């Protein structure tokens, strides 16, 4: 069955860095766009970034552009998000999700990993 | 401020019908991009409820439906049940942002 498992979250000080991972299984990873979507405590969903199946197309939300970097390793069926220059407002649960195309729905989501930015 | 606008809350009695609206603009819903809907229970990941405006994934009951017209979309739930109490989010693609946009979410309360 399809599984997406995030890891790497934790407590980090403002200005610090963190690397999130998403391990995928149960499907052909390199057939899918992969994305990161976050949810601040008590708030709604916010798209962060997506990457195409081959990695040729990458987009970021304005709120993270220049600070976050998405990447993937199709040989390892893994998606990553490097978070730099973290701010308090980056505190959120970060979900990875898959989609067939950039305009398609995200049909499977991971359970999420919590990133807390606090001094 | 979310790019897609949803009412913060809706409510209905068991058995009733409720609708949740999602209003966008000419760069997302109005541009013809599909609208998708997700259901989220507290402490859990969102689950896909409707894709491509009006399609249900396997396992989603047919009392849940979606529609789209112009720059807006709607989610309808008929025969409301206690288990429908959750948060609901709409999502689309925005060509001016070259990214995904979500509605702010709607909390459905079953009275």
pLDDT tens readout for residues A61-111: 999 999 999 999 999 999 999 999 999 999 999 999 999 988 899 999 999
For residue B106, give both structure tokens: 């709607």
- The band of B67, judged by pLDDT with boundaries at 50, 70 and 90, is very high
- Round the average pLDDT of chain B to a whole number and report it: 97
Quick one: pLDDT at residue B18? 98
The answer to whether the Cβ–Cβ distance between A61 and B99 falls below 8 Å is: yes
Average pLDDT over residues A56-62: 96
Question: Is the pLDDT confidence value at B45 over 90?
Answer: yes
Average pLDDT over residues B64-75: 97
The answer to whether the Cβ–Cβ distance between B34 and A105 falls below 8 Å is: yes
- Round the average pLDDT of chain A to a whole number and report it: 97
Question: Is the pLDDT confidence value at B1 over 90?
Answer: no
| Nearest residue of B to residue A6, measured between CA atoms | B45
Hey, is the C-beta of B70 within 8 angstroms of any chain A C-beta? no
Cβ-in-10-Å burial (0-12, 13-18, 19+) of B7 comes to middle
């Amino acid at each position: 069955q399809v599984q997406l498992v995030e890891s790497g979250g934790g407590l980090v000080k403002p200005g610090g860095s963190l690397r999130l991972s998403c391990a995928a299984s149960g499907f052909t990873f390199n057939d899918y766009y992969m994305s990161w979507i976050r949810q601040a405590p008590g708030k709604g969903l916010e798209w962060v970034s997506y990457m195409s199946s081959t990695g040729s197309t990458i987009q970021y939300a304005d709120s993270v552009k220049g600070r976050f970097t998405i990447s993937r390793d199709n040989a390892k069926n893994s998606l990553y998000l490097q978070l730099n220059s973290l701010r308090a407002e980056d505190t959120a649960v970060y979900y990875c999700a898959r989609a067939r195309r950039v305009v398609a729905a995200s049909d499977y989501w991971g359970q999420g990993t919590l990133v807390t930015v606090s001094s | 401020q979310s790019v897609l606008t949803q009412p913060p809350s809706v409510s209905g009695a068991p058995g009733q019908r409720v609708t949740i609206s999602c209003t966008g603009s000419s760069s997302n819903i109005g541009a013809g991009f599909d609208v998708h809907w997700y259901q989220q229970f507290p402490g859990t990941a969102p689950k896909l409820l409707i894709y491509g405006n009006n399609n249900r994934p396997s396992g989603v009951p047919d009392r849940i439906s979606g529609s789209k017209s112009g720059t807006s979309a709607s989610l309808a739930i008929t025969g409301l049940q206690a288990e429908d109490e959750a948060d609901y989010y709409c999502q689309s693609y925005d060509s001016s942002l070259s990214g995904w946009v979500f509605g702010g979410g709607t909390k459905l309360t079953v009275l």
